[in-house]
Amino acid sequence: MTPTLSSLGKDLVGLEDLSAAQIRTILDTAEPFKEISERRIKKVPVLRGKTIVNLFLEPSTRTRISFEFAEKRLSADTVNLTAEGSSVVKGETLVDTARNLEAMRIDMVVIRHGASGAARFLADRIPSNVVNAGDGAHEHPTQGLLDILTIRDHLGGVAGRRVCIVGDILHSRVARSNIFGLLKLGAEVAVCGPLTLLPLGIDALGVRVFRRVEDAIEWADVLNVLRLQLERMTAGFVPSLREYNRFYGISSRRLARAGKELLILHPGPMNRGVEIDSDVADSPYSVILGQVTNGVAVRMAVLYLLAGGAPEAAEAAKRRGVG
Amino acid sequence: MNTRPRLLRGGRIVDPAGGLDTVLDLLIADGKVAAVGAGLEAPEAAEVTDCGGRVVVPGLIDLHVHLREPGGEHKETIATGARAAAAGGYTSVCAMPNTDPVIDSPAMVGFVAAAGRAAGLARVYPVGALSVGQEGERLTEIGELVGAGAVAVTDDGHPVMDSGLMRMALEYAQAFGVPVADHAEDLGLSRRGAMNEGLVSARLGLSGKPNAAEDVHIARDLLVAELTGGHIHLQHVSTRQGVELIRQAKARGVRVTAEATPHHLLLTDDAVDGYRTEAKMNPPLRTEPDRRAVEAGFLDGTLDTLATDHAPHHYDEKEQAFDDAPFGVVGLETALGLMLTHFVASGKMTMVTLVERMSTQPARAFGLPGGTLREGAAADVTVIDPSVRWRVDASEFHSRGLNTPFGGMRLTGRAELTLVDGKAVHGRGGQEGA
Amino acid sequence: MPTPDSMSVTLLDENDVERIVERMAKEIVERAGGVESLVLLGIHRRGVEISARIRTLIEREAGRDVAAGAIDITFYRDDLARIGPRPVVGESELPMDGIDDRTVVIVDDVFFTGRTARAAINELMDWGRPARILFCVLVDRDGRELPIRPDVVGRRLSVLPSQKVDVRVPEIDGQLAVCVSHAAGSAS
C-alpha cells in the first residue's frame, strides 16, 4: 500500500496557506518530473483529457511558457487567454470572467493578475482547480517552490540555510512566496534593499532586515536577487539605476570580499548591470538556468497533485457558486 | 402639521441635554415635545404607546453619511438613505457633498434639502463642498451654501491638501457659524494605499496607508484651527496618534469636534484578511493599539461624536479584487445595535454617554435642532428596545448598500420606533411604522 | 501494512521463490533467443528487485552483462482521478543505449488486473520502439480486467477477489516469500 500524499486541496493560491508537509510533497513530486523533461519524448499522459486555461491578465512570457510546457508534458489540453486581444477578458470584471470559465467546464485555471488576492477571488468562485501564477504583490507560489527546489538541489536541504532576498521586496510576490515557503521549511530568511522598497514592519513576518548588501552577503548562504522594475525609478523609490547598482547590485567584487561561495538565484528576467552584474549571472555560482528547468518540473508537480486533488473542495466551491 | 398627539408612557427617558435619566412619560403634540413628567394624562384622541422596558432618547444624529444622490442612485438615493437612517433610529443625517455633480452651489444644496423633505423620513441636512468641485483650489460660496441650508462644509473624500485653502475655509466659515469638516489624509503619504500599512498589508501584498498620513493631516488641521480660531470637525479618526493630537488640542482650547465610527471602534485590519472588500474603507481599519486608542478617545469624549460614514456601494462594485473595489461600508442600520451591544451592554459606556455621542453632541457640533427632549423641542425621538436580540442580515437593509463588515453578527438592542416631528418614520415589533 | 501476520499465509518460501526465479531466468533467455539484445526492466518497487535477481542469474549463466533498468508507471496510470495522486516511488531509468530494436522484458511481482502492464507498455512506447516486449511476473493471479497475458509466469495462483497476494523481497520486506492474506476493504 502506498503512503498517501499531503493533499493540496483544490487550489494553490499561496505558500502561506500550505503546511511544511504539503510543500515537501510538491518538491518531492517535482523530482521525477525533472527526469521526464530529459526524455526523448517529454510527455506523459497523466493529465490526458484535462482542459487547462492559462488566464494571463498581466503580461508574462516566461511564467506562461513554463506553465504551458508543464501542461503539455502532462498531456493536458491548454488554452491561453491573455489581456491583449481577448474579447473574453477585455473590460470584463473578474466575476464575469469566472462565470465564463465556469460555463466552459474547464478543469483548471492558471491565473496571473495584477491585483493582490485575484487568485483567491477566482478560486472561491469556480469549482475548477486554480493555480496562482502571480497576483499583484501577493504571491507567486510556483516561483517560490522552484526557488526552494533549486536551493535544495544545490545545498542538499533548506532547513538552517540562510537565504537573503535582495531588492524590491515591497512590490514582489516572489519575495512573499519565498519568505513564507522558506520559513516553513526551517530556513533563516533575510531581506535587503533600500528601505523605500521594503514593507514597513516586514520583520514581523520573521525575517531579518539588512540595510547594506555587504552585510547580507556576509550572512547568507543563498542570495535570491529580485528584478528591479524600471518603473520603480520613475516612481521615485530609487533615485537612479546607477545608484541602485552601486549600493545594492550583486557584483563579483562584492561576492569575492565575502570569501565564501554563495548560491545566486534570480527569478528573471535579469537587468544585467542593475541588480546583478554579468560576471555574477554567468558565474558557476549562479543557478539561474537551473531555476528555469526546475520551474517546469515544479509546475508539473503542482498540476499533477491538484488534478488528482480533493473533489470535495471542488464541490464546495460549486455550491458557493457564481450564479 | 396635523398629527394626533402621542403619549410615550413609562419609558426610561435619557436626555443628557436636559439632565434626565428617569422613567417618565413623554407627551408629543403638534410635532413638539409638549411635556415630560410622571403620570401624564393622555389627551383626547392621543395615541398611547407603552414604553415599559424601552429607552426613549432624543433622535439620533449622524454627522457623516453618503447618500450618493445625485449621480450614484444605483448605490443609494436620498430617500433610501433616509429610510435606512430612520430604521437605524436616526432622525437626522448630514449628507456629504461628494456626489456627481458635487454639492458646491446653492442650487445643489437646495436639491438635497428638498429631496430630503420630499422623502419625509429622517431629516437630511446637506453639507456643502469646501472648494469648488471639491478640487481643492478655491472656496465655494460658503455664505450662499449656508443660506440654502448647508450645515457644514467639507471636501470629504478629497482631503484638503492645500493648507492655505484650509486656513481660508476656517476663517471664512466663521462668519456663517458652520464648522469645517475634514477627511484627514495626506495623499502624498497614503499614496494609493488600499488598506492600513502594517503587517497585514505586508502579508497580503496590498499597498498601505500609514497612520502618519492621517496624523500629519490632523496635526495640520488642528494647528490651522488654532491659528484662525475656526471650528474644525475631524471626521472618522482612526489612529492612536490622531486621538492624542486631538486630546492635546482640546486641552489647549482649540475648537475641535471629532468623530469615531463603529467600524474603527470595533474592528482592526485583521478583518481585511482574505481580501474581504467589505472591510475596505477610508481611513482604513487600523491595528489593535489604534482601535483601543479610538475607543479610549470615544469614552473620554476626545472623540465626541459617533458617525457612521455610511458609504453604500452597489454589490457589483465590492465583488472585485481588493485593489479594484471602492472604499466604504454602510452603517446607518447597524450603528445603534453595535454600540448598545459592545459599549452599553458590555459596561464600557453608560446609556447616557452613548446618547450624548449619538445625539446631543452631534446636534451641538453642527448647530442642528434636536438632540434634546426638552419641552418645546421638535419631537425627534428614538424609542430603543435594549433587549431585543437580532442578527445583522444585509439582505434586510433598507439601504441599497449591502456592504457591511458586520454581516451575521448577533446584536442586542435596536430602534423600535423613530419619530420625526412627532411622526413615526420607522416602527417595528408591534409598533406602527411608516 | 496493517494486516497482522496471523491473517497471512505463506504460500512460497525463500527456497520456492529462488527455484522459481531460476526457472524464469532460463525461460526468458529461451524466449528472447539469447541475451544480446535483451533489456530487463523492473517495475517499481518489487519488480525492480525481482528483475535484479533474474539479471544476476542470467549474467552468471551467460558470462556477460545484461542491460537493465527500472520503470515507474505512476504517470501512466488510468486511475488518477479516482484514487488521487500517488507518491512517485522512483524514477524510470533506462539503459544508456536505449530500448530501440531490442527485446525488452518487463518484470513485475504480481500480475493482477493488467492495468499496470498496460501502463508500462504505454510508457515504453513513449521511450522508444522496442523490437519486442515480453512481460514477466513472479505470480499471476486471478482478476484480469484487460485482455493482456504475461509471457513468463513464475507461479499461477487461484485466489478470491478479496484475497491479497504479497510478494516480499528482502530489500524492502526483510524476507523473500509470497503470502496471501484477506485484505479487508483494500483491493489493490
Q: Is residue B408 part of a domain?
A: yes
> If you write DSSP's letter for every residue of B235-293 in order, what string do you get?
-S---HHHHHHHHHHHHHT--EEEEE-HHHHH--GGGGTTT-GGG--SSPP--HHHHHH
Residue C109 has a pLDDT of: 95
Once rounded to an integer, what is the mean pLDDT over residues C11-26?
95
Residue A315 has a pLDDT of: 43
Pick the residue with more confidence: A10 or A93?
Answer: A10
Measured between beta carbons, the chain B residues lying within 8 angstroms of A135 are 205
Task: Decide: helix, strand or coil at residue B380.
Answer: coil
Residue B410 and residue B305 share a domain: no
A290 pLDDT band (50/70/90 cuts)? confident
User: What are residue A56's phi and psi, to 5 degrees?
Assistant: -105, 95
Measured between beta carbons, the chain A residues lying within 8 angstroms of C92 are 32, 35
Q: Is the pLDDT of residue A318 over 60?
A: no
Inspect the interface and report whether the beta carbons of A94 and B274 lie closer than 8 Å: no
- Out of B332, B366, B400, a domain closes at B366
Q: Is the pLDDT of residue B3 over 80?
A: no
Q: How far apart are CA A67 and CA A52, in angstroms?
A: 10
Measured between beta carbons, the chain A residues lying within 8 angstroms of B275 are 116-117, 120-121
Residue B164 and residue B217 share a domain: yes
CA closest to B317 among chain A residues? A93
CATH of the domain at B391: 2.30.40.10
CB nearest A40 (choices: C77, C84, C128): C128
Inspect the interface and report whether the beta carbons of C76 and A46 lie closer than 8 Å: yes
Q: How far apart are CA A64 and CA B58, in angstroms?
A: 63
Pairing of strands B208-209, B180-182: unpaired
Pairing of strands B381-391, B410-420: antiparallel
Q: How far apart are CA A37 and CA A35, in angstroms?
A: 5
Q: Is the pLDDT of residue B418 over 70?
A: yes
Name the E strands within C44-161.
Answer: 67-71, 103-111, 132-141, 152-157
A5 pLDDT band (50/70/90 cuts)? low
List beta partners, residue B14: B21
* Contact residues, B window 163-202, toward A, CB-based 8 Å cutoff: 197-199, 201-202
Residue C58 has a pLDDT of: 96
Contacts of C150 (CB under 8 A, 6+ apart): C111, C117, C135, C136, C137, C140
Q: Total structural domains in chain C?
A: 1
Q: Residue B356 has what DSSP assignment?
A: I
Residue B358 and residue B284 share a domain: yes
Q: Is residue C56 part of a domain?
A: yes
Measured between beta carbons, the chain A residues lying within 8 angstroms of B323 are 114-117, 136
B2 pLDDT band (50/70/90 cuts)? low
pLDDT digits 0-9 by tens, B194-226? 999 999 999 999 999 999 999 999 999 999 999
CATH of the domain at C94: 3.40.50.2020
Q: Is the pLDDT of residue A3 over 80?
A: no
Q: Which active-site residues of B does the annotation give?
A: 309
Q: Do chains B and C touch (3 or more CB pairs under 8 A)?
A: no
Once rounded to an integer, what is the mean pLDDT over residues A262-275?
92
Mean pLDDT of chain A: 88
User: Is-same-fold flag (A15-139+292-320; A141-290)?
Assistant: yes
B432 pLDDT band (50/70/90 cuts)? very low
What percent of chain B has a predicted confidence (pLDDT) above 70? 98
Inspect the interface and report whether the beta carbons of A5 and C72 lie closer than 8 Å: no
Q: How many CB atoms lie within 10 A of CB A78?
A: 19
Residue B118 and residue B101 share a domain: yes
Nearest CA to B258 among B180, B319, B372, B320?
A: B180
Residue B288 and residue B301 share a domain: yes
Q: How far apart are CA B58 and CA B61, in angstroms?
A: 9
Q: Is residue B1 part of a domain?
A: no
CA angle A117, B187, B189 (to 5 degrees): 80
Domain ranges, residue B295: 59-366
pLDDT digits 0-9 by tens, B255-268? 999 999 999 999 99
Residue B247 has a pLDDT of: 98
> What is the distance in angstroms between the Cα of C167 and the nearest Cα belonging to chain A?
12
- Out of B334, B366, B398, a domain closes at B366
C98 pLDDT band (50/70/90 cuts)? confident
Domain ranges, residue C36: 12-158
Q: Which CATH class is domain A141-290?
A: alpha beta
pLDDT digits 0-9 by tens, B350-361? 999 999 999 999
CB nearest A1 (choices: C1, C81, C89): C1
Q: Is residue B297 part of a domain?
A: yes
Residue B122 and residue B246 share a domain: yes
Once rounded to an integer, what is the mean pLDDT over residues B35-64?
95
- Residue that is written with C-alpha cell 496493517 in the block: C2
Measured between beta carbons, the chain C residues lying within 8 angstroms of A28 are 87-88
Which fold does the domain A15-139+292-320 belong to in CATH? Rossmann fold (3.40.50)
Q: Is the pLDDT of residue A319 over 50?
A: no
- Out of B366, B388, B413, a domain closes at B366
Residue B103 and residue B85 share a domain: yes
Q: Is residue C73 part of a domain?
A: yes
Task: Decide: helix, strand or coil at residue B419.
Answer: strand
CB nearest B275 (choices: A121, A200, A205): A121
ipTM given for this complex: 0.89
Residue C41 has a pLDDT of: 95
Once rounded to an integer, what is the mean pLDDT over residues C78-103?
75
The domain spans of chain A are 15-139+292-320, 141-290
Nearest CA to A63 among A150, A187, A146, A130?
A: A146
Q: Residue A226 has what DSSP assignment?
A: P
Q: Total structural domains in chain B?
A: 2
Q: Is the pLDDT of residue C185 over 80?
A: no
Residue A272 has a pLDDT of: 92
Inspect the interface and report whether the beta carbons of B320 and A95 lie closer than 8 Å: yes
Residue B388 and residue B331 share a domain: no
